[in-house]
Amino acid sequence: MTSIRRSTLACLAATVTASLLPAIVHAQSGYPAKPIRLIVPFTIGGVTDASARLAADLMGKRLGQPINVENRPGASGNIGTAGVAAADSDGYTLLLGFDGTMVINPNVIKSVPFDPLKDFASIGKIGDAKLILVAANAVKANTLKEVIELSKKEANGLSYGTSGVGSTPHLAGSMLNIRSGSNLVHIAYKGGGQAMIDLQAGSIPLVWTAVAGALPLIQSGRIKPIAIPAAERASSLPNVPTFIENGLKDFVIDSWVGLLAPARTPRPIIDRLNAVLNEVLNDADAKARLDKMGITPVAGTPEQFHASIKRDLERYAEVVKAAKIQAD
């Protein structure tokens, strides 16, 4: 190719880019100009769906366009998540990100159809949902230290139920074994509901679950709380100590939800969505509604959310490898 031809093509490309730039800038400055879709990769109901609908409702009112929630369940959240990764990067298709899908699935499933860091642009975290270790009333242990010691004395260990293999509660139990030398044996249920039923009946001694789900049973005295693996105590259970208070330094493991968009979504759109999301998270009514779901709002920047995803991917990889966890 001659230098004259290269120069001509370069000038033509620059001219085309310059002619398109005003339209691109106008499209971003006028965002959103139509309804937005928010894909929830799980079925209707539950904390993930409820938090998505709350964010969609309050953000849509502030943006002047509705955000319509679409549930696309399947393959532990991978189907809906992969669909958003492949969507247009125009800000009109968003994802309700969940720790189980974004940072656990890539570690416990041999192959997932997306890269949680490369295929998405982080918008912001909605919040953290605290977990809790609870016990049947008949269990002869009332503190975390007593649970650990009891598990070591039992010939077959002490079993704990969770919502499934590779779930955040499963990793929490595995992390406790690694960090404390406890002998806790995982029992995977098809859902957390049946695990809680068996716990009340005394069929299983321990269950890892979300604070929100355990709270009514704790308050009614049907089960007893042991400890919370969070940086601070839950406001709804101020008398229940954290794992850190029990001597396990930096033992923090939360479940979380947040918003993401397809990679290469223009930064002005990401910034607009992040600003509106933070407005919602700082609203007193929204905080109260999230608190009832067991979610602590976490306002922040896209960079902070991206960094937290990267950090969780790395630390859970260590737990999964050490515990040899692998989902079907």
Please tell me the predicted confidence (pLDDT) of residue 222.
97
Per-residue pLDDT reduced to its tens digit, 189-243 = 887 889 999 999 999 999 999 998 899 999 999 999 999 999 999 988 999 999 9
Phi, psi of 39 (to 5 degrees): -85, 125
Please tell me the predicted confidence (pLDDT) of residue 15.
53
For residue 294, what are the β-bridge partners?
A: none
CA distance 295 to 254: 10
Please tell me the predicted confidence (pLDDT) of residue 190.
80
Contacts of range 65-68, beta carbons closer than 8 Å, 24 or more positions apart: 65/32, 65/33, 65/34, 65/35, 65/36, 66/35, 66/36, 67/35, 67/36, 67/37, 67/38, 67/94, 68/35, 68/36, 68/37, 68/38
12: Cα separation from own chain's centroid: 46
278: Cα separation from own chain's centroid: 17
Q: Tens-of-pLDDT digits for all 328 residues of the chain?
A: 454 544 544 455 455 444 444 444 444 569 999 999 999 999 898 888 999 999 999 999 999 999 999 999 999 899 999 999 999 999 999 999 999 999 999 999 989 999 999 999 999 999 999 999 999 999 999 999 999 999 999 999 999 999 888 889 999 999 999 999 999 999 998 878 899 999 999 999 999 999 988 999 999 999 999 999 999 999 889 999 999 999 999 999 989 999 999 999 999 999 999 999 999 999 999 999 998 888 999 999 999 999 999 999 999 999 999 999 987 6
Whole-structure pTM value: 0.83
Please tell me the predicted confidence (pLDDT) of residue 7.
53
Provide the residue type at 269 as one letter: I
Domains plus CATH for the chain?
A: 34-128+255-323 (3.40.190.150), 131-246 (3.40.190.10)
Please tell me the predicted confidence (pLDDT) of residue 137.
97
Please tell me the predicted confidence (pLDDT) of residue 14.
53
The phi-psi region of residue 75 (left if phi > 0; otherwise alpha if psi is between -120 and 50; otherwise beta) is left
